[in-house]
Amino acid sequence: MIENYQAADDLLKDKVILITGAGDGIGKSAALTYAKHGATVILLGRTTEKLEQVYDEIEAQGGPQPAIIPVNLLNLSIEQAQQIGEKILSEFGRLDGLLHNASQLGQLSPIDSYNDEHWLNIMQVNVNATFFLTKALLPALRQSPAASVIFTSSGVGNKGRAFWGAYSVSKFATEGFAQVLADELEKSNIRVNTINPGATRTKMRAKAYPVEDPMTVKTPAEIMPLYLYLMGADSAEVHGQRIDA
Ligand code: NDP
């Protein structure tokens, strides 16, 4: 069982892995965990101070020196994404892992009164920016001996639920995108999978469930075995899957 998966200490040694939304929540935990297992992590997020904090924690735990890309995905242009791809290729020569983790929840509201601007923003961050980045990073991913791309979905990403609006629709799009990409990359060096984290103790969860006692849901650290498994060589044959954490 993946929950009991024990990753080797050096599972991700010499791997270069980009994590979006690496400053908080699940993304932060993944960045720290990947670095602990030897990866050079590229921390992408919108709040520089948070990324710097993660950077410092990685240095303090003796991990390989990380890199920081401060970018608000809401404003990410195609050109900017291409620049990020080119920079990674020139600095690292390849990309071995990509964790698409950053997302925005927006407000929960019925479609009747759903805020139009929020809809556009959520689709921009959760769907369009993910496409821009993936496309721009494919050249670097193709230079890896074995690359892993992980998308992040949700319980509302394959079953619609009242009031979850653009977030739910964006997660359906994420799952569709992952399926299309996985099919295209069937015979390549890149494998593509999707994680549904399930209820996890983060700011997003607290916003969606304000009256829930956070202590009743699992921590990001508790779901890291799956994040490690899918990123490392032990899942070399796993491709095109959607896995619940
Ligand atoms: P958090 O809101 O706790 O963290 C999200 C991270 O993404 C933050 O670091 C945030 O930056 C960053 N981010 C958000 N918007 C942008 C943006 N426009 N540009 C750049 N970075 C951005 O969320 P979680 O850790 O809970 O969620 C991680 C993933 O897991 C998401 O895809 C979410 O949909 C999914 N998920 C989470 C569940 C849960 O119970 N927590 C359940 C199901 C799915 P900042 O710190 O600056 O806000």
Residue 4's pLDDT is 84
> Among residues 34, 167, 227, 229, which one is catalytic?
167
Each residue's pLDDT tens digit, 137-182: 999 999 999 999 999 999 999 999 999 999 999 999 999 999 999 9
Sketch the domain layout of the chain as residue ranges: 2-244
Residue 1's pLDDT is 62
Residue 207's pLDDT is 96
Q: Is 199 touching ligand 1 by the criterion CB < 6 Å?
A: yes
CATH of 2-244, one of 3.10.129.10, 3.40.50.720, 1.10.260.40, 3.40.640.10: 3.40.50.720
Q: 161-164 — which CB contacts under 8 Å span 24+ positions?
A: 162/110, 163/108, 163/109, 163/110, 164/108
Question: Which of 18, 20, 26, 72 to probe ligand 1 with, by most ligand atoms within 8 A of CB?
Answer: 26
Residue 70's pLDDT is 98
Q: Which of 15, 22, 67, 59 is nearest to 39 (CA)?
A: 15
Residue 54: pLDDT band (50, 70, 90) is very high
Each residue's pLDDT tens digit, 185-230: 999 999 999 999 999 999 999 999 999 999 999 999 999 999 999 9
Residues 6+ apart with CB under 8 A from 197: 26, 152, 154, 223, 245
Is 167 a catalytic site residue? yes
Residue 3's pLDDT is 75
Residues 6+ apart with CB under 8 A from 226: 2, 3, 5, 195, 243, 245
Distance 98 CA to ligand 1 centre (A): 15
* Nearest-angstrom CA–CA distance, 218 and 146: 31
